[in-house]
Amino acid sequence: MAKSKSAYFCQNCGYESPKWLGKCPSCNQWNTFVEELVQKTPASVPDWKNSTPAGRVAKPASIDEIIYAEEARIATRDAEFNRVLGGGIVAGSLVLIGGEPGIGKSTLMLQLALSMKKLRVLYVSGEESEQQIKMRAERLSPSRADREVFILTETSTQNIFKQIELLEPQLVVVDSIQTLYSIHIDSTPGSVSQVRECTAELLRFAKESSTPVFLIGHITKDGAIAGPKILEHMVDTVLQFEGDRHHVYRILRAVKNRFGSASEIGIYEMQGSGLREVSNPSEILLSQRDEQLSGITISAMLEGVRPMLIETQALVSHSAYGTPQRSATGFDTRRMNMLLAVLEKRCGFRLSAKDVFLNIAGGLRVEDPAVDLGIVAAVISSHEDIPVSPKICFAAEVGLSGEIRAVNRIEQRIAEAEKLGFEQIYISKYNRKGLDQSRYVIEIKSVSKIEEVFGGLFG
């Protein structure tokens, strides 16, 4: 008889304890421990063709003797997806995609599976029936030429591996990891033990058979991927699918990537026929307006290696209540408060009794410090009710003493602003070192203090 024992797991972070605790010592959450039965049985995952031979013992090798070969990547027809993954799908990789319910995770993965021509794809679903998936597939891709996509509605990992052994797919998509269960663990699907065991079995299959596997995961109310935190450590790549269900634009963001940059994003537009790639995101992030309005500026930011121009909107008004309000959407509120303190201390603007609201247009979450100068200019534009010309762009960081600091990769920011027809760009004078201004048609204004910016904009 196999031994079975009882353990308590935190449903928020996956911390394991031999007894029940009121407060998790790992994540400090209350009343999150649930009892689960852990059955100790030998794992019976099939031996794959490329499995390590039995009896082989790993030996240490000198780093100079190891032969490095570039990872073989499978290029998809989705250029945005390729960019986020670092150039394509790596053989044997395990990719986890998380996002809010209804954001389009299943649509993205089914669209990817249908676009992989001449590649045998197995789409495993534990949430939808075959008819539901077929209905979505007809809407996403009516063409059936050179398409080998197989649908399996199953939740038992043992049955899934049996079908994989018969079909021998070249790509596997699992929707979702929280619905799978293994007979080796005596607990309900979605529990910490089941998620960890099922992911471990899929990880072993991916590495031993060199078959890429995509896992769709649910997220908690805090936005983190549901299940134990070790789930994100086990996989090779973690992608976050973000956006508002009431808007058409979606952002695919790389949170962790062992095969490429972990700061890349891909932008999609949700349409009736599926997700459309947005190759030039600056056009959708800049609103088209006929008249000049105060409190609106354009900043040049970088997401990964991609330059983008975003619209910053600020509103400064008299406080109707005793305590002035500070609110920021898409930007760190603490950094906004710091910039407002710089304006009050160094420049003499009385903002302590004013309500200040800040919004990054397009639903993006911005962390690039190069948008500081654009935000400061937008706040003063709204405070003085003087519009900033829509042909002016900003790319600089603001320091606590009011100085304009340099930012990295200024050439890409200037080139993006020039490509979209801007006439002026404000940068730090410390960015002029090594910058060939004769290459650009756009007028480059280099400044060192906030006062110089205000003098150039508002006289």
**207 shares its domain with 135:** yes
Return d(Cα 171, Cα 206) in angstroms, integer: 10
The reported pLDDT for the residue numbered 123 is 95
Average pLDDT over residues 88-95: 93
* pLDDT digit string, tens, across residues 377-412: 999 999 999 999 989 999 999 999 999 999 998 999
**Residue 49 is assigned to a structural domain of this protein:** no
**320 shares its domain with 338:** yes
> DSSP letter string over 274-309?
EEEE-S-HHHHHS---SS--TTEEEEEEEETTEEEE
What mean pLDDT, rounded, does the chain reach?
86
The answer to which of 48-62, 77-91, 378-392 has the lowest mean pLDDT is 48-62
User: Could you tell me the pLDDT band of residue 223, with boundaries at 50, 70 and 90?
Assistant: low
The reported pLDDT for the residue numbered 50 is 46
In this structure, are residues 190 and 222 in contact, taking their beta carbons and an 8 Å threshold?
A: no
Number of C-alpha atoms within 13 angstroms, CB side, residue 401?
Answer: 3
State yes or no: 126 annotated in a binding site: no
Q: What is the CATH number of the domain that holds 189?
A: 3.40.50.300
**Residue 57 is assigned to a structural domain of this protein:** no
Residue type, 92: G
Residue 280 has pLDDT above 80, yes or no: no
Which of 278, 293, 319 represents a domain boundary (last residue)? Answer: 278
**Residue 61 is assigned to a structural domain of this protein:** no
91: CB partners within 8 A, 6+ apart? 71, 72, 73, 74, 210, 211, 212
435 is in which domain, residue-wise?
284-458
- 388 Rama sector, left if φ>0, alpha if ψ -120 to 50, beta otherwise: beta
Structure tokens at 247: 């808007």
Number of C-alpha atoms within 13 angstroms, CB side, residue 61?
Answer: 8
The answer to which of 240-254, 291-305, 383-397 has the lowest mean pLDDT is 240-254
Q: How far apart are the first and last CA of the chain?
A: 85
**Residue 269 is assigned to a structural domain of this protein:** yes
State yes or no: 18 annotated in a binding site: no
**17 shares its domain with 155:** no
**273 shares its domain with 289:** no
Residue 141 has pLDDT above 60, yes or no: yes
**86 shares its domain with 158:** yes
Residue 349 has pLDDT above 50, yes or no: yes
Tell me whether the omega of the peptide bond preceding residue 176 falls within 30 degrees of 0, making it cis.
Answer: yes
User: Could you tell me the pLDDT band of residue 2, with boundaries at 50, 70 and 90?
Assistant: low
Return d(Cα 7, Cα 37) in angstroms, integer: 6
**288 shares its domain with 271:** no
Q: What is the CATH number of the domain that holds 435?
A: 3.30.230.10
The reported pLDDT for the residue numbered 109 is 94
State yes or no: 260 annotated in a binding site: no
The reported pLDDT for the residue numbered 51 is 46
Least Cα distance to 112 among 143, 148, 81, 88 occurs for 81
| Percent of the chain scoring above 90 in pLDDT | 46
Please return the burial class of 155, using the count of CB atoms within 10 Å of its CB with bins 0-12, 13-18 and 19+: middle
> DSSP letter string over 393-430?
EEE-EE-TTSBEE--S-HHHHHHHHHHTT-SEEEEEGG
**271 shares its domain with 254:** yes
DSSP secondary-structure letter at 127?
S
3-state helix, strand, coil in the chain (%, to 5): 30, 30, 45
Secondary structure class of 99 (helix, strand, coil): strand
**Residue 249 is assigned to a structural domain of this protein:** yes
Secondary structure class of 319 (helix, strand, coil): coil
**239 shares its domain with 305:** no
Which of 278, 303, 320 represents a domain boundary (last residue)? Answer: 278
The answer to which of 146-155, 219-228, 346-355 has the lowest mean pLDDT is 219-228
State yes or no: 102 annotated in a binding site: yes
In this structure, are residues 351 and 316 in contact, taking their beta carbons and an 8 Å threshold?
A: yes
User: Could you tell me the pLDDT band of residue 1, with boundaries at 50, 70 and 90?
Assistant: very low
Split into its structural domains, the chain has a count of 3
* pLDDT digit string, tens, across residues 300-324: 998 877 888 999 999 999 887 778 8
The reported pLDDT for the residue numbered 14 is 77
**261 shares its domain with 325:** no
DSSP secondary-structure letter at 178?
G
Secondary structure class of 161 (helix, strand, coil): helix
**Residue 15 is assigned to a structural domain of this protein:** yes
**446 shares its domain with 342:** yes
pLDDT: which is higher, 242 or 156? 156
Residue type, 458: F
**Residue 52 is assigned to a structural domain of this protein:** no
Residue 290 has pLDDT above 70, yes or no: no
Which of 246, 278, 310 represents a domain boundary (last residue)? Answer: 278
Beta strand 16-17 with 4-10: parallel, antiparallel or unpaired?
antiparallel
> DSSP letter string over 245-272?
TTSSEEEEEEEEETTS-TT-EEEEEEET
Largest pairwise CA distance in the chain:
85
**215 shares its domain with 93:** yes
State yes or no: 101 annotated in a binding site: yes
User: Could you tell me the pLDDT band of residue 237, with boundaries at 50, 70 and 90?
Assistant: very high
**84 shares its domain with 143:** yes
Average pLDDT over residues 326-350: 92
State yes or no: 428 annotated in a binding site: no
